[in-house]
Amino acid sequence: MRDLKVSPIRNGTVIDHIRNGLALEVLRILGVEGLGKDSTISVAVHVRSQRMGWKDIVKVENMELSPQKANAIALISPSATISIIQDYKVREKRPVDLPDRLVGLLRCPNPNCITNQGEPVESEFEVIRRKPLALKCLYCERDLEDFIPHLAPGASGTRGNGG
Ligand SMILES: Nc1ncnc2c1ncn2[C@@H]1O[C@H](COP(=O)(O)OP(=O)(O)OP(=O)(O)O)[C@@H](O)[C@H]1O
Ligand SMILES: [Mg+2]
Ligand SMILES: [Zn+2]
């Protein structure tokens, strides 16, 4: 808190240790348009960090992060941490954590994949390697290593009340 780059918030969520330069992608995942006016958002880009060299930070008032959005953030920035702020204090702080399977979070890059045929089939990817992260489509076995262009709109998926 000593070198706080943005003003403190009373209640909300802090996404810290975001990979340098990816704050705007995190905002896209959060779906800024869907947040109300009481959710003031502060963004710090290119912040000096002991641990990472440089990092980005996003702080959102009066918002809780859905598990699906936390998964999307883990995907693009495995180093990110999520802190829940209540009454100006850190109630909870945890690293993001990517599950072994991701449902409805990404579009398969294979246009012929069953998940791209307008059928009611949600995409499903399996983590086949953690470092560096690589995923494989469970339907067509296509590999995916470039996640940002394939995040589903809003990255909220269509299942599990991600939105
Ligand atoms: N009232 C607040 N308003 C906004 N952000 C806060 C508030 N309190 C803490 N934070 C932020 O929440 C995160 C976790 O807070 P904490 O005090 O544990 O940070 P830290 O000691 O820098 O830990 P870390 O090792 O995770 O960087 C940090 O990003 C901090 O800047
Ligand atoms: Mg810190
Ligand atoms: Zn596929």
Structural domain span for residue 107: 101-155
Could you tell me if 74 and 109 lie in one domain? no
**pLDDT of res. 63:** 95
| Start-to-end CA span in the chain (Å) | 30
Q: Whose CA is nearest to atom 30 of ligand 1?
A: 1
Do 83 and 110 belong together in one domain?
A: no
Mean pLDDT of 5-33: 94
Q: Do 24 and 88 fall into the same domain?
A: yes
What band does 153 get if pLDDT is binned at 50, 70 and 90? confident
Contact 80, 95 (CB under 8 A): yes
Residue 107 forms part of a structural domain: yes
The pLDDT value given to residue 6: 77
At residue 155, the pLDDT reads 52
CB-count burial class (<10 Å; 0-12, 13-18, 19+) for 27: middle
Residue closest via CA to ligand 1's atom 25 equals 51
Tell which residue, 13, 75, 63, 68, has the closest CA to residue 34. 63
Indicate if 123 and 151 belong to the same structural domain. yes
Token pair belonging to 62: 């009066």
Same domain, 23 and 74: yes
Rounded Cα distance, 162 and 66, in Å: 6
CATH code of residue 21: 3.30.70.140
Pocket of ligand 1 (CB under 6 A): 1, 4, 8-9, 14, 16, 59, 81, 83, 85, 88, 90, 93
Q: What is the mean pLDDT of residues 115-129?
A: 96
Nearest CA to ligand 1 atom 11: 14
Is pLDDT of 158 > 80?
no
Claim to verify: residue 89 and residue 106 sit in the same structural domain: no
Mean local confidence (pLDDT), 119-136: 95
pTM for this structure? Answer: 0.90
- Classify residue 160: in a domain, yes or no: no
Q: Which tokens hold the place of 133?
A: 């992260």
- For residue 81, which atom of ligand 1 is closest to its CA? 26
- The CB density around residue 46, as the number of other CB atoms within 10 Å, is 12
Domains of the chain: total: 2
Same domain, residue pair 90 and 116? no
> Are residues 21 and 79 in contact, defined by beta-carbon separation less than 8 angstroms?
no
Give the mean pLDDT of 67-93. 97
pLDDT of residue 122: 95
Out of 95, 130, 146, a domain closes at 95
